[in-house]
């Protein structure tokens, strides 16, 4: 990787270049709590394995994790269920929008991968079925990863998601009809929406995911969060499916395992180096943040980060 004297200055330059692109996107408006977010906000933060944080913009501004929460849920479910999980969810890219339902019927209620909505709802079922208080267990896991106790779900986002969750309910009931959901659907959806509503900032999110850049070990606590094999597997899934039907283009332009959420954040894992989080609410037609995509693409190009 190219060495950079002053990463903070580089991030600031990239942010100034990319931020004006926000007007090309549209903030998520499927729930009122997201439709009200100010569109011109933007931030980027890099956490490195040696314990540094570099950032520019509103890197301490909180946003909801949304689909990025699928990574944490997946790691928890892999730790609980082991290889049995892969009998209930596949590991293939979907090439479809994140909330697509068509493949689920063709494939007998087995979601294409764990980071589209159907797959993440399946994972939520595993967590609800294996933890007595899965919502708290999720927050506890995130708090442990970041190293602070003050991580909560945004109640307004949570309640809004619950009220407008028909599409996700359809996915859950279809899987239930094929016998691939064990718990009661309303309970599974509550867990899923709660984890989506978890509020973090760019610095915290980068820090939380460092174990994926470090073979499963969280560097600041030296704790083994998942096995080395599972860290590689999660990165493989993020590389092929983390950006939904734009995953091919992201691999082509950036070349890093990554995950986006409709809250406007994108995380990218740089193995053996660190984690990049970029955030800006307006989204492109794939549900990926316009400015965050551009920030990460330019940074990856500048530093020569592509794994390919």
Which of helix, strand or coil describes residue 199? strand
**Contact between 264 and ligand GLN (CB under 6 A)?**
no
**Contact between 114 and ligand GLN (CB under 6 A)?**
no
CB 281 within 8 A of CB 288: no
Which of helix, strand or coil describes residue 27? coil
Which residues are within 8 A (CB) of 61 and not within 5 positions of it... i.e. 6 or more apart? 41, 43, 201, 202, 279
Q: Is position 158 annotated in a ligand binding site?
A: no
**Shorter beta-carbon distance to ligand GLN: residue 196 or 292:** 196
Whose structure tokens read 């509020």? 199
Strand (E) positions, the chain? 43-48, 53-57, 63-64, 199-200, 217-218, 223-224, 258-260, 265-270, 274-279
**Contact between 241 and ligand GLN (CB under 6 A)?**
no
Q: Is position 244 annotated in a ligand binding site?
A: yes
Q: Is position 262 annotated in a ligand binding site?
A: yes
Min CB(214)–ligand GLN separation in Å: 25
Catalytic status, residue 290: no
Which has the closest alpha carbon to 85: 235, 233, 257? 233
Catalytic pick from 67, 134, 247, 280? 67
Catalytic status, residue 26: no
**Contact between 117 and ligand GLN (CB under 6 A)?**
yes
Q: How far is residue 142's CA from residue 149's CA, in Å, rounded to a whole number?
A: 9
Min CB(224)–ligand GLN separation in Å: 28
**Contact between 67 and ligand GLN (CB under 6 A)?**
yes
Catalytic status, residue 176: no
Interaction residues for ligand GLN, span 162-201 (CB under 6 A)? 168, 196
Please select the residue that binds ligand GLN; options are 125, 154, 161, 190, rule is CB under 6 A. 161
**Contact between 261 and ligand GLN (CB under 6 A)?**
yes
Question: What is the dihedral sign for C-alpha 76, 82, 83, 85?
Answer: negative
Instruction: Tell me the number of residues near ligand GLN by CB under 6 A.
Output: 11
**Contact between 154 and ligand GLN (CB under 6 A)?**
no
Catalytic pick from 54, 64, 70, 289? 70
Min CB(246)–ligand GLN separation in Å: 12
Catalytic status, residue 70: yes
Which residues are within 8 A (CB) of 53 and not within 5 positions of it... i.e. 6 or more apart? 45, 46, 47, 203, 206, 207
Which has the closest alpha carbon to 128: 90, 81, 64? 81
Please select the residue that binds ligand GLN; options are 48, 66, 195, 246, rule is CB under 6 A. 66
Min CB(127)–ligand GLN separation in Å: 15
Q: Is position 67 annotated in a ligand binding site?
A: yes
β-pair partners for 266 = 260, 278
Which has the closest alpha carbon to 244: 128, 120, 157, 155? 120
Min CB(305)–ligand GLN separation in Å: 24
Catalytic status, residue 241: no
CB 155 within 8 A of CB 139: no
Which of the residues are catalytic? 67, 70, 192, 244, 262
- Applying CB under 6 A, the residues found at the interface with ligand GLN are 66-67, 98-99, 117, 161, 168, 196, 261-262, 287
Query: Binding site membership for substrate: which residues?
Result: 67, 117, 161, 168, 192, 244, 262
Query: Binding site membership: which residues?
Result: 67, 117, 161, 168, 192, 244, 262
């Amino acid at each position: 990787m190219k060495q950079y004297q002053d990463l903070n200055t580089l991030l600031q330059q990239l942010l100034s270049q990319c931020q004006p692109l926000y007007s090309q996107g549209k903030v998520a408006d499927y729930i009122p709590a997201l439709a009200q977010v100010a569109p011109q906000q933007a931030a980027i933060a890099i956490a490195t394995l040696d314990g540094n944080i570099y950032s520019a913009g509103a890197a301490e501004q909180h946003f909801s994790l949304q689909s990025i929460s699928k990574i944490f849920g997946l790691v928890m479910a892999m730790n609980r269920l082991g290889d049995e999980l892969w009998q209930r969810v596949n590991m293939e890219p979907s090439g479809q929008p994140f909330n697509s339902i068509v493949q689920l019927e063709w494939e007998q209620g087995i979601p294409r991968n764990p980071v589209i909505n159907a797959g993440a709802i399946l994972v939520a079922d595993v967590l609800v079925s294996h933890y007595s208080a899965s919502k708290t267990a999720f927050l506890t896991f995130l708090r442990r990863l970041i190293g602070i106790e003050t991580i909560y779900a945004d109640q307004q986002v949570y309640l809004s998601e619950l009220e407008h969750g028909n599409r996700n309910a359809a996915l859950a009931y279809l899987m239930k009809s094929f016998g691939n959901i064990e718990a009661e659907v309303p309970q599974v959806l509550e867990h899923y929406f709660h984890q989506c509503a978890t509020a973090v900032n760019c610095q915290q999110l980068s820090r939380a995911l460092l174990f994926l850049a470090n073979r499963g070990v969280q560097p600041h606590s030296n704790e083994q969060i998942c096995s080395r094999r599972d860290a590689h597997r999660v990165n493989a899934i993020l590389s092929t499916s983390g950006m939904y039907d734009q995953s091919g283009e992201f691999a082509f332009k950036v070349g890093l395992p990554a995950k986006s959420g409709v809250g406007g954040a994108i995380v990218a894992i740089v193995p053996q180096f660190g984690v990049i989080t970029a955030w800006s609410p307006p989204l492109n037609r794939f549900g990926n943040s316009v400015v965050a995509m551009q920030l990460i693409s330019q940074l990856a190009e500048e530093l020569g980060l592509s794994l390919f």
